[in-house]
Amino acid sequence: MKRPLIQSHATEPDSIDIQAFTDKEESEAQDQQNAQQNAQQKREKPLKKLKQSAYDAAGYVQGPLKWAIALTAALGAILEVIDTSIVNVALTDMQATLGATVTEIAWVVTGYAIANVVMIPLSAWLGDFFGKKTYFVFSTIGFTAASMLCGLSINLPVLVVARILQGFCGGGLLAKAQAILFETFPPAEQGLAQAVFGVGVIAGPAVGPTLGGYLTDTLGWRWIFFINLPVGIVAVIMAIVFLRPDSKQHGRSQQKVDWTGIVLLCIAVGSLQAFLEEGEKENWFESGFITFLAFVAVMGLFLFIWRELSTKAPAVDLRVLRHKSLAAGSLYSGILGMGLYGALFAVPLFAQGVLRFSATQTGFLLAPGALASAIVMVLLGKISTKVDARILIALGAGGTAAVMFDLAKITPQTGTDDLFWPLIWRGATTVLMFLPLSLATLGSIPKEDVSAGSGFYNLTRQLGGSIGIAILTSLLAQREAFHRAILLAKLTPYDPETTERLSALTGVFQSRGSDAATAQQQALAALSQLVNTQAAVLSYADIFRFVGIVFLCSLPLLLFLGKGGAGAKAPAAH
């Protein structure tokens, strides 16, 4: 009986020793793991400091300040982009109030557009001459003051002059805002930064008609300008507080001003924009004035390019186009502008002209697509620097083309429910092109060229939009006349279907109290209206298909673009 007890006590120390050994092993393993983590942290600290030093040397901003700068730049861009489209829905009310003709009131839009495209390429030079912060602040102040003058206008000449001032100041806001973001954020964060900027640029053309229609219907057209005042004041204060003064001067303020280049630019780009805005109204080259504008634009552009490449201190530095990504991206930006603004141009016209929507109803029809753009833009900002930009752009172009072909299925009975999802998808797919294209175009060029590059990039998009709208306006009129002629050719007294339809309509009007002769005239008028409506629907379907084809044809140009965020190097510090 004692032997088992002795054996039991003899084995207990062995058990204790094993447990102690296990605990010791675990403790040593934990100590080793902690030592490895500490060593890793010690190795990472110099790397983080080196990375931080590199960012500081490159002039990038760290901490919350960079997001305050992003919001400031975005506010400036939103002011300009929304005002590009907000006026269109109020032109009829302006015309009635100011006693203007259709041709005269069109200069409210044309004057702004001409001034805007002239200033966009000059914004880089002006930013260097006066300082980026100073130029941005005074552009915002000028835009806000011009908005107030627009709202207080007592006649058409005052309104047109105020809109031209708005365009001059707005042209500086758009390009300079994007350049500020590229110079503020390091490459790894450019996706989110450009997403903040892109929300305004993409959603603006859709929000503009919504806001403009609501304000015009409820408060009057003057409030589409007064609404800029609080936003402009906030943007000015934020720009003064948050934007950094230029850390170094480029010396342009000491150089001779290239007045010859500036004058040639104004003549060339101004004539081109006027040609695009007024050409369709004057039947293009059937008008001597439009032909003259085209000649002046071509000669002006030739002389402007020759001047800027031959002078030592050009107003617009065309040499930045030596960067392949900028040249290819700017070209693609023009095509994107054609498709983007063309699509935004066609849908409101169809809604108001065919579906008889009010300005407010049309605005609310477009609003969900703008919201979809904003959501996708933010999500895309988190991955755009990690994915090949060409893949995202291809998905966006293909998706937008598919949406436009879907919209081409419209009928006279199409309603809000039929347009809701296509417009949502269009808002989402266009973003897939805009943000990656910005990063692929501007993300890898040297910092000292970003400002001029941003000017070219935004100019080509604006001109592309103007060209797209001019083409679609002319094409719409031609296709509507074509379809109407075909439909009318089928309406003969010998066509049984026509006779049956006319008889049915005559019976309807007689049942409402009209005599036989009056009812027949009313039936003919109703039949003519049906023909006009069907011709309009068919022509808009052609327009949507045309825009889809434009996006598909743009895909081969992606071969000339770089990888963008996925493969771009950080801009060199200068």
- Under 8 Å CB-to-CB from 302, ≥6 apart: which residues? none
Position 135 in a domain: yes
Task: Classify 437 in phi/psi space as left (phi over 0), alpha (psi -120 to 50) or beta.
Answer: alpha
Q: Which residue has the tokens 């302006």?
A: 94
Task: Say how many C-beta atoms besides its own lie within 10 A of residue 412's C-beta.
Answer: 11
- Ramachandran category for residue 284: left, alpha or beta (phi over 0 → left; psi -120 to 50 → alpha): left
Does the residue 264 lie in any domain?
no
Burial string for 304-329 (b: 16+ CB within 10 Å, else e) reads beebbeeeeebbbbbebeebebbbbb
Residues 107 and 182 in one domain: yes
Could you give the CA distance from residue 475 to residue 311 in angstroms, rounded to a whole number?
41
In Å, how far are 171, 176, 190 from 124, measured between CA atoms? 11, 7, 20
Q: What's the pLDDT tens digit per position in 325-370?
A: 888 888 888 888 887 777 777 887 788 788 888 777 877 887 788 7
End residue of a domain, out of 246, 275, 302? 246
How long a stretch of residues is the chain? 574
Cβ atoms of 84 and 204 within 8 Å: the answer is yes
Helix axes 190-218, 416-442, angle to 10 degrees: 140
Radius of gyration of the chain (CA): 31
Indicate the helix (H) or strand (E) that contains 371: helix 359-383
Q: Which of 332, 331, 336, 360 is nearest to 348 (CA)?
A: 360
- Residue 197's pLDDT band (boundaries 50, 70, 90)? confident
One domain for residues 455 and 343: yes
Q: Average the pLDDT over each of 56-65, 163-172, 319-328 and give the range with the smallest value.
A: 56-65
Q: Are 224 and 90 in contact (CB under 8 A)?
A: yes
Are 198 and 68 within one domain? yes
In a domain, 554, yes or no: yes
Tokens 């296990």 — which residue?
22
Same domain, 551 and 403: yes
Q: Is the domain of 89 the same as that of 199?
A: yes
Contact 460, 408 (CB under 8 A): no
Q: Which residue has the higher pLDDT, 468 or 29?
A: 468
Q: Is 228 left (phi over 0), alpha (psi -120 to 50) or beta?
A: alpha
Domain membership of residue 492 (yes or no) is: yes
Which structural domain, as residue segments, surrounds residue 530? 483-540
The pLDDT of residue 254 is 53
In a domain, 18, yes or no: no
Cα separation, 74 vs 217, in Å, equals: 28
Per-residue model confidence (pLDDT) at position 73: 87
Q: Are residues 394 and 516 in the same domain?
A: no
The domain boundary, picked from 222, 246, 270, lies at 246
Mean pLDDT of 93-113: 82
9 confidence band (pLDDT: 50, 70, 90): very low
- Considering its fold, how many domains does the chain have in total? 3
The arithmetic mean of pLDDT across residues 116-140, rounded, is 86
pLDDT at 18 over 70: no
74 falls within a domain: yes
CATH classification of the domain holding 333: 1.20.1250.20
Is the pTM value of this prediction over 0.85?
no
Shared domain for 178 and 145, answered yes or no, is yes
Residue type, 309: L
> What is the C-alpha to C-alpha distance for residues 191 and 185, in angstroms, rounded to an integer?
9
Query: With helix as H, strand as E and coil as C, how does 242-268 read?
Result: HCCCCCCCCCHHHCCCCHHHHHHHHHH
Distances 444 to 183, 433, 437, 562 between C-alpha atoms, Å = 12, 18, 12, 9
C-alpha to C-alpha distances, 565 to 187, 193, 571, nearest whole angstrom = 8, 13, 12
CA nearest to 216, candidates 342, 96, 53, 349: 96
The lowest-confidence range among 13-17, 38-42, 434-438, 482-486 is 13-17
Residues 140 and 123: beta-carbon distance below 8 Å: no
Q: Are residues 338 and 433 in the same domain?
A: yes
Other Cβ atoms within 10 Å of 117 Cβ, number: 23
Residues 6 or more apart from 140 whose CB is under 8 A from it? 76, 79, 169, 173, 232, 235, 236, 239
Query: What backbone torsions phi and psi does residue 315 show, to the nearest 5 degrees?
Result: -70, -35
In this predicted structure, the answer to whether residue 394 has a pLDDT above a threshold of 80 is yes
Question: How far is it, in rounded angstroms, from Cα 245 to Cα 194?
Answer: 21
446 and 498: one domain? Answer: no
Instruction: Assess if residue 362 is contained within a domain.
Output: yes
Task: Give the list of residues 6+ apart from residue 574 with CB closer than 8 angstroms, or none.
Answer: 446, 447, 448
Residue 483 pLDDT exceeds 80: yes
**Both 449 and 519 in a single domain?**
no
The model's confidence at residue 477, banded by pLDDT at 50, 70 and 90, is: confident
Residues 195, 149: Cα–Cα separation, whole Å? 32
Q: Based on the domain organization, do 536 and 464 belong to the same domain?
A: no
Residue 141 confidence class, pLDDT cut points 50, 70, 90: very high
The answer to whether residue 97 is domain-embedded is: yes
The yes-or-no verdict on residue 240 having pLDDT over 80 is yes
Residue 361 is predicted with a pLDDT of: 80
153: three-class secondary structure by DSSP: coil
Q: Tokens representing 256?
A: 């001779």
Phi, psi (5° rounding) for residue 31?
Answer: -60, -40
CB 206 within 8 A of CB 369: yes
Domain termination site, one of 229, 246, 263: 246
Shared domain for 532 and 560, answered yes or no, is no
